[in-house]
Amino acid sequence: MKNLRNPILWLSAMCLIGSLSACGKKQEAAQPNMEMPVHALEVQPQSVPVLLETPGQTAGSSEVEVRSRVSGILQKKNYTEGAYVNKGTVLFTLETDSAQQAYKSAQASVASQKALLEQAQTNLKRVSTLVAQNALSRRDGDDAKASYNTAKAAYDAALAQASNSKLSVDYGVIRAPISGYTSSETRSVGSLVSPQEILTKISVINPIYVNFSFSDSDLAKLRNASRSGEVTAPNATGFQVALTLPDGTEYPTLGHVNFTDKIISATTGTVRARAVFDNPNMDLLPGSFVRVALRGAMRNDAILIPQRAVSSGIQGKSVWVLTAENTYEPRVITTADNIGQSVVVTKGLQAGDRVILDNLMKLPQLPPKSKVKPVMVTLDAFYKSLTEPAPAAGGAPAAPAVKGAEGAPAAADAAAPTAAKEK
């Protein structure tokens, strides 16, 4: 107390106390300015489609190889390669001179054997009558019967030979076995064609097939999720199928699965499947590589967040979650399907959690227990803000239509940043 009576010491103490008090007030005043604004999403469960995607390849719904049944010189081609042909249309004509000669010879043999058969038949009737009158012996009757049987067998053989010769002539004219689009020819006019040689192919492309495969693990996950109630399986009509074409556009018509193999490939560990599509304008051609997406199953009580809100690290995937005091903490999550710009979170989040969407790279640099200023947004509003043009120089950054931190409508000029595009 004596020292305090010293004017110099007293003045010094008062200055020190004043400066400390002023510093404290400065810090208190600066504290609100340190609360970094962030956009945040309050997550709520919803039903979302289960996306199963895989590469696929188109193929004709029916494809037939056109082959020659006989050997011969290819005399004429009667169609345009790649053109549509109707069933029964003449495609190729072979030179069949030798076959025609053989057919004429067989026809002559048939006529000769028919005459001999008629003679044997007449003789058999005469002898049978005489045997019945005891004018001839039974042996005479047996001989006449044997001669008739021999003539009948020779006549039948001649008929068979003629029929075969006729087929050889007919096979020289090769017709379309089905209606469809032809491929390129494999042999040119003047070539010697061998039996069973492929001359062209005919494909039916309306409807058209798309062949694809799914991994056994994907199907097992879907099956288990369906059993647990996490996923609702498609209705009785089954999966619908969407196609993404090689140029990135989506085929305008949905198809449906019409075949699923019941055997898992031992080499690939996949299950083969097939979808069928209407193709009236022939926009899809066989052999095209496409992207297949199965639709119909729904994931129940799913939580969607932007993919950009997810970080990857040693512990896996995580997000920043707001506390009740508007501080923030990391949360490890498990994800499933990507749906557009969003991702499905299956573990780690629950209804009402507030997930920070932007400034993710800055958060770890702030002091521990730092508070942020959340501006609550919807998914649609947040995504819209990402596509809006940047504000003019010197202007305040625009925020999407949102709710304030306490649920009140936020002003358009609120001190909230545009969503930064952290990777």
- CATH code at position 334: 2.40.420.20
Q: Of the candidates 63, 40, 148, 162, which has an alpha carbon nearest to the alpha carbon of residue 111?
A: 162
Summarised one tens digit per residue, pLDDT across range 167-181 is: 888 888 999 999 999
Q: Pseudo-torsion of CA 164, 169, 172, 174, nearest 10°?
A: -70
180 and 78, same structural domain? Answer: yes
In a domain, 1, yes or no: no
In a domain, 4, yes or no: no
What are the residues whose beta carbons fall under 8 Å from the beta carbon of 219, sequence distance 6 or more? Answer: 271
Structural contact between residues 40 and 403, judged by C-beta atoms closer than 8 angstroms: no
What are the residues whose beta carbons fall under 8 Å from the beta carbon of 258, sequence distance 6 or more? Answer: 274, 275, 276
End position of a domain, from candidates 248, 270, 299 = 299
Residue 279 φ then ψ, to 5°: -140, 55
Determine what percent of the chain is predicted with pLDDT higher than 90.
43
End position of a domain, from candidates 256, 277, 299 = 299
Task: Pick the range with the lowest mean pLDDT from 193-197, 245-249, 369-373.
Answer: 193-197
109 and 42, same structural domain? Answer: no
Nearest-5° angle of CA 151, CA 158, CA 101?
A: 145
353 and 340, same structural domain? Answer: yes
Q: Which two tokens stand for residue 29?
A: 């005043």
Q: How many domains in the chain?
A: 4
In a domain, 183, yes or no: yes
191 and 234, same structural domain? Answer: no
363 and 307, same structural domain? Answer: yes
Average pLDDT, the chain: 81
Largest CA distance in the chain: 179
282 and 228, same structural domain? Answer: yes
Burial class (CB in 10 A: 0-12, 13-18, 19+), 224: exposed
In a domain, 372, yes or no: yes
Domain of residue 260, CATH code: 2.40.30.170
Instruction: Report residue 177 CA to chain centroid gap.
Output: 30
In a domain, 27, yes or no: no
Query: Is 3 a residue whose pLDDT tops 80?
Result: no
Query: Is 280 a residue whose pLDDT tops 50?
Result: yes
In a domain, 238, yes or no: yes
Q: Of the candidates 150, 112, 145, which has an alpha carbon nearest to the alpha carbon of residue 126?
A: 145
Boundaries of domain holding 376 = 36-48+301-387
225 and 155, same structural domain? Answer: no
44 and 131, same structural domain? Answer: no
| pLDDT at position 222 | 76
189 and 76, same structural domain? Answer: yes
156 and 128, same structural domain? Answer: yes
Summarised one tens digit per residue, pLDDT across range 303-340 is: 999 999 999 988 899 999 999 999 999 999 999 888 88
161 and 185, same structural domain? Answer: no
190 and 73, same structural domain? Answer: yes
In a domain, 420, yes or no: no
With H, G, I as helix, E, B as strand and everything else as coil, classify residue 108. Answer: helix
Instruction: Count the neighbouring beta carbons within 10 Å of the beta carbon of residue 267.
Output: 5
Structural contact between residues 397 and 418, judged by C-beta atoms closer than 8 angstroms: yes
In a domain, 393, yes or no: no
pTM: 0.58
Summarised one tens digit per residue, pLDDT across range 363-392 is: 999 998 899 999 999 999 999 888 876 554
End position of a domain, from candidates 154, 171, 188 = 171
